[in-house]
Structures are given as C-alpha cells and as structure tokens.
Amino acid sequence: MQQITPNPRRDPAPTRLAYRMNRLWLTPLFRRLLRLGLPVFCLMFLLVWFLGDTPRREALVASFVDMRRSIEERPEFSVQLMAIDGASSELDQDIREVVPVDFPVSSFDLDLEAMREIIAGLDAVARVDLRVRPGGILQISVQERSPAVVWRGREGLQLLDSTGHRVAALGARTERADLPLIAGDGADAFVPEALLLLEAARPIAARVRGLARMGERRWDLVLDRDQRILLPETGALAALERVIALNQAEELLTRDVTVVDMRNSARPTLRMTPKAAEDMRHIKTIEAGASNG
C-alpha cells in the first residue's frame, strides 16, 4: 500500500523583502512622500512637458493676456473722470498737471500709490487719499496746508504753515497782507515760537511789522516808527510779555524810544531817539547848572 506524504506546512513568517516593505510603509515620512510627493512629481513632470513646447507656451500666454485684457476693459472697471475735493483752484490745477491721466482708463492701469506719492510731494498738500468710486470716478481727497506766516528769506517771499513747512511762493507782500511777516535766515525753523510771540504781542498788534531772526539765534520784534524789541535767545516769550505789561502800565512804546533791549533780562536797556537823547542831555545840563548855582 502506497504511503501518502503530507504536504509540508507553509512557514507563516514573512519574507525578508516583505518585512522590509512593511517596515518602510509604517514610516510616516515614506507614506507622506508616497501620497503627496508622487502626485506632485507627476503633476510637475506633466507641466514641464506641456510648457516645454514653445508654440504651446506662447499660445497659453497669449490666451491669458487676452483674458486679462478682456476683464480689465469691462465697463464696470472703466474710470471716466477725476474729482478733487478739499483743494483750492490753484492746487487743483497743480494736481491735474502732475497727474496727467487720459480718460477713460481701466482702474487696473492706475497706480494709486505712485499717484498718491506724487501729489503728497506738492508743498501745499498736507495729506491726500485716492480711491476709485463706483461710477468710474477717480476720487482725490486733499487736506491743504493753511498758510500761517509770510517768510522773507534769501529766495524771496514764501508762505509757511504753522509748522514751518513751505506752502507756496509769494509774489508780493501785499498779496497776503493779512498774514504776519517773519524774516531772516533760519526763521522758517522757528515758526511755532514766532506765532507764540505774535500772539503775546496782540495788545500792540496794530504797530507790529514783523519778527526778524537775528543771527539764527534770537528774535527782534519790529514795530512801526522804527522801534524794535530785542528779545533774548531763551525766555523770549516771558521777556516780551514783560515789555507788553510795562507798556500797558507806563506807555513805554509811545515815547521816544527806538530800542527796548531785553537780551539781558537782569538789565533791560532803552535806547532813545537822537532828538530825545539830546533833549535829555540838555535837561541834565540845565539841572546841573541850577544845582551848582
């Protein structure tokens, strides 16, 4: 009788290759590369292959440009006119000259930031905002600098605002006789102090002709009748208030005085007119003769 040999049992242990593949699959980095890296690689390969053909690439770029242009030229993106708010007629004209725009124009072709920088560079502009309003209107909102003083410097007459920033050139003093006058080198850097001094001199405002910066260090308050109040480098406001108080009490500035020198606050000095000085000497001579007699 033939003996049947049983089949050998299959070894359940994995092969070395299967074991290594299983371990590799359990690695998070490998799974991430396989799930993400492989599709990305295939996509990049197809993209490089597609764009590698020059006519095909040029056709793709041309179709993209045409699509973009068709969107930009749609009526809802068309800007038809410019509106400027907050500017005087002179500043309005200056803005239109420095920002020449040929309307109609697509809003995509307007560089609002570059236009804002150009307009902000104008002397008379303190602040500017630009936006495209519905209806195809380029809206420019301007905050214009307000002239506070007229400065007579080496380059002629200039209008300055309350901070000393240049606003515009001035042809003649009579064009802005309503504004106070300051003069001298470096006076534009001390406009806030000059305005404080002019405010303190309000009781004699009708006689004030202006402020002169002397040696780029201090101020002289210039009055009519060739009178001057010489103010110190420091404490100029207090010195001027002292002179104003003395004038209100003693009518100092109505007398024959040419200079009130307050540069040394401990020793204020008065300088009289030549005629008044001569009269004073004559009186003293008479008084001395009478006392000797």
CATH number for 133: 3.10.20.310
Q: For position 287, what pLDDT does the model report?
A: 54
| 192 domain residue, yes or no | yes
Kindly state whether residues 221 and 140 are assigned to the same domain.
no
Give pLDDT, residue 32. 76
Residues 109 and 193 in one domain: no
Residue 108 resides in a domain:
yes
Does residue 28 lie within any of the structural domains?
no
Q: Which of 82, 88, 79 has the alpha carbon at shortest distance from 142? A: 88
- For the chain, how many structural domains are there in total? 2
> Residue for token digits 């850097």?
189
User: Residue 232 sits in which domain range?
Assistant: 186-279
CATH at residue 195: 3.40.50.11690
267 and 202, same domain (yes or no): yes
Q: Is residue 266 part of a domain?
A: yes
| 101 strand-pairing partners | none
% helix, strand, coil for the chain, step of 5: 45, 25, 30
Look up the pTM and report it. Answer: 0.68
- What's residue 258's pLDDT? 92
pLDDT of 45:
78
The pLDDT of residue 1 is 47
Are the C-beta atoms of 161 and 117 separated by less than 8 Å?
no
Q: What is the pLDDT of residue 247?
A: 93
Which residue ranges of the chain lie beneath pLDDT 50?
1
